[in-house]
Amino acid sequence: MQPPSVRRPPLATPPSTSTSENGKASSPGLCRRSRPAAEYLLQLPDWRMMETVEEDVEEYSWREVVLPHLVPVVPNAPPELERETGERRRGRDLLVAVDFGPNSKHAFDWALAHFARLADTVHLVHAVSSVHNEIVYEKSRELMEDLAVEAFKTLLVRTKARIVEGEAGNVICREAERLKPAAVIVGTRGRSLIQSVLQGSVSEYCFHNCKAAPIIIVPGKEAGEQSVL
């Protein structure tokens, strides 16, 4: 596999240690290592008590998606695994654009296999026509819940999710500006990297307009394990 080509956004100063939402500095995530087989306890929230956060600022409307609380259950876990899954773990923020198509799922799988690390936080973003449509919200919640469980079982990574009203390209770039993630990962229908960037798609829009983070474009499965950064 050829190493991905690199396009990084211009930075005025060298990148510094990122800061998590609780205000504490975060360091690079831990390297992936073999771990004993684990069982996972899925604690679903009480949807009757669910509260939805909404915000309308300059036609920028979004809703947080309430995901299940996932707890690792590892019998006779070694001390290093306990440290990795404890409160002291630190990692990066990764932004993954999702929808109901196969290319989105392929990009998500690629992110877990080739980029995400233990202790990272994966932020799932889904662009929708209206955040007030309860049917759309429920479908998005089901999709993101499945992805969150998969990410946790695969790498023990945490997941946050939100749906945002607007065009997909604009939504992804605005969320990247808000999060300042280590990378923005998007899928595309293109059969090659050149097609992905030139065909006027969402990935092309993000490649040229997202200045807050590196962009990783993951072509469809037919293009193999290639990507552009």
The distance in angstroms from the start CA to the end CA of the chain is: 14
Distance of CA 181 to the CA centre of its chain: 9
Percentage of the chain modeled with pLDDT above 90: 45
**Distance between CA atoms of 176 and 7, rounded to whole angstroms?**
16
Helix (H) or strand (E) holding 55: strand 54-57
What average pLDDT does this structure show over 103-121? 93
pLDDT mean over 142-162: 94
Token pair of 119 as six digits: 């202790």
Residue 13 pLDDT exceeds 80: no
The stretch 172-198 carries a mean pLDDT of 80
Concatenate the DSSP letters of all residues of 58-74 into one string: TTEEEEEPPPPEEEEE-
Q: Rounded to whole angstroms, how far apart are CA atoms 118 and 156? A: 6
Examine the pLDDT at 130 and tell me if it is beyond 50.
Answer: yes
Best CA proximity match to 189, nearest among 126, 99, 123, 114: 99
Tokens of 1: 């596999």
Reported confidence tier of residue 199, pLDDT bands at 50, 70, 90: low
Helix (H/G/I), strand (E/B), else coil: 149: helix
Average pLDDT over the chain, rounded to whole? 74
Give, for 56, the enclosing helix (H) or strand (E): strand 54-57
pLDDT digits (tens, 9 = 90+) for 28-72: 444 444 444 444 444 444 433 344 444 444 567 999 998 888 776
- The length of the chain, given as a count of residues: 229
The verdict on domain 39-223 having CATH code 3.40.50.620 is yes
Structural domain boundaries in the chain: 39-223
Predicted TM-score (pTM) of this structure: 0.67
